[in-house]
Amino acid sequence: PEYIWYRFKIPLDLTTRQTIGGIQDFRSIRFIRMFWKGFTEQTTFRFATLELGRNQWRRFTQNTLACKMYDSPWNAVAFDVNAVSIEENAARTPFNYTIPYGISREQSVGAFPDVLQNEQSLAMTICSLQYCDARAVFKTLNLDLRQFKRLKMFVHAEETDPVNSPLDSTDLTVFIRLGSDYVRNYYEYEIPLTPSDVANLNGNPDSRSYKEEVWRPENDFDFPLALLTEVKKQRNAQGNWPLDVPFQIEDPENLRAKVKVVGNPNLGYVKGVMVGVRNVDETNNLSNRHCVEVWLNELRLNGFNEQAGYAGQARVDLKLADFGNVSVAGTYTSIGWGGIEEKL
């Protein structure tokens, strides 16, 4: 007989969960019980795994990403964050999960050196996303990006409801935000999101053409970080441009991309990164609610500024006869200088 496997994922942060007895939190969990009911005939269940999962990427739940106010609540849009991997989703449909072209699976370091690690991606499933609205995930960081040259990331998009919600490259965009926060001080880079086409698959998930159809090159993030400081310079040159109003320019390397700045972000003080999907379909925007599944993989910094730096110290001690002693000390460090013990 053909067996069907179901995957249940239960969020532990639900505020509507039922509490029985005096339990208040998850600090003292000794038992887990599962109840099955509603079956009209004898049924046999097999369990593969029962595990606790965690994710460093969290859903952004503030209703501040939309460019207009809606009467419907934030949770009216179905939004799920998951993971897809080569071990568990290599045979999924309609697109087999495959590693982006040019990326290799890393070997596991340990007692079994020939075992390859389970390469995986972050997946966002969004449905009923209205025009001008967005959903995003974020991760808290503490980075200094001033010595790096480019930011890169692979992105995959596919239709989850091709009959009722067909997609093209003008319907949705994917964006990334960097800054000290996600609302008042950030840089944003946004590109159109092109869904993969099942008709273009050649049937061999390991081939270059298959990989590039799943991970379409036009969906890749690849831009110089200097472009973010350039949009800030152009905004400041306007003189009276309000800091809380987004200022936007085009990427000269990719005219499809938009670069924005809000507030006073600093690449030397990046406290978090956000990645999200926005509905930009203006045609009949009151009824165009789109559904999409997006994979994010290999968010990375590329290129390092190898400009040499220098530093100096000076100290002057003066003895003024019987009046006293005067000591003056100073240090100077240029861009590119760093200690041997410092890490990238």
CA 207 → CA 87, 98, 119, 210, 290, distances in Å?
A: 18, 10, 17, 5, 30
| 3-state per-residue secondary structure call for the chain | CCCCCCCCCCCCCCCCCCCCCCCCCCCCCCCCCCCCCCCCCCCCCCCCCCCCCCCCCEECCCCCCCCCCCCCCHHHCEEEEEEEECCCCCCCCCCCCCCCCCCCCCECCCCCCCCECCCEEEEEEEEEECCCCEEEEEEEEEECCCCEEEEEEEEEEEECCCCCCCCCCCCEEEEEEEECCCCCCEEEEEEECCCCCHHHCCCCCCCHHHHHHHCCHHHCEEEECHHHHHHHHHHHHCCCCCCCCCEEEEECCEEEEEEEEECCCCCCCEEEEEEEEEECCCCCCCCCCEEEEEEEEEEEEEEECCCCCCEEEEEEEEEECCCEEEEEEEEEECCCCCCCCCCC
Q: Is pLDDT at 69 greater than 80 in this prediction?
A: no
What's the whole-number mean pLDDT along residues 32-60? 86
Min mean pLDDT across 13-17, 126-130, 315-319 is at 13-17
Q: Is pLDDT at 255 greater than 80 in this prediction?
A: yes
| Residue 176 near residue 274 (C-beta atoms within 8 A) | yes
Q: Is the residue at 2 inside a domain?
A: no
127 falls in which pLDDT band (50, 70, 90)?
very high
What local confidence, expressed as pLDDT, does residue 71 receive?
Answer: 64
Q: Is the residue at 1 inside a domain?
A: no
337 falls in which pLDDT band (50, 70, 90)?
confident
Q: Is the residue at 337 inside a domain?
A: no
Phi and psi dihedrals of 230, rounded to 5?
-70, -40
CA 333 to chain centre: 34
Q: Is the residue at 324 inside a domain?
A: no
Rounded to the nearest integer, the mean pLDDT of the chain is 87
What local confidence, expressed as pLDDT, does residue 287 receive?
Answer: 64
Q: Is the residue at 336 inside a domain?
A: no
Q: Is the residue at 166 inside a domain?
A: yes
Quick one: what percent of the chain has pLDDT higher than 70? 94
314 falls in which pLDDT band (50, 70, 90)?
very high
Give the global pTM.
0.85
What's the whole-number mean pLDDT along residues 279-289? 76
Q: Is pLDDT at 100 greater than 90 in this prediction?
A: yes
pLDDT digits (tens, 9 = 90+) for 71-94: 666 677 899 999 999 998 998 889
Which sign, positive or negative, has the C-alpha torsion 22, 26, 30, 33?
positive
What's the whole-number mean pLDDT along residues 50-75? 78
Tell which wins on pLDDT, 124 or 50: 124
Q: Is the residue at 260 inside a domain?
A: yes
What's the whole-number mean pLDDT along residues 8-26? 77
What's the whole-number mean pLDDT along residues 262-277? 95
Tell which wins on pLDDT, 69 or 55: 55
16 falls in which pLDDT band (50, 70, 90)?
low
Max Cα–Cα distance, the chain, nearest Å:
105
How many angstroms separate the CA atoms of 105 and 157, rounded? 22
Domain that holds residue 207: 58-106+114-304
What local confidence, expressed as pLDDT, does residue 8 receive?
Answer: 84
| Residue 266 near residue 143 (C-beta atoms within 8 A) | no
Q: Is the residue at 186 inside a domain?
A: yes
Q: Total structural domains in the chain?
A: 1
pLDDT digits (tens, 9 = 90+) for 156-191: 999 988 888 888 888 999 999 999 999 999 999 999
Amino acid at 55: N
Most confident option among 161-165, 216-220, 327-331: 216-220
CATH number at residue 127: 2.60.120.260
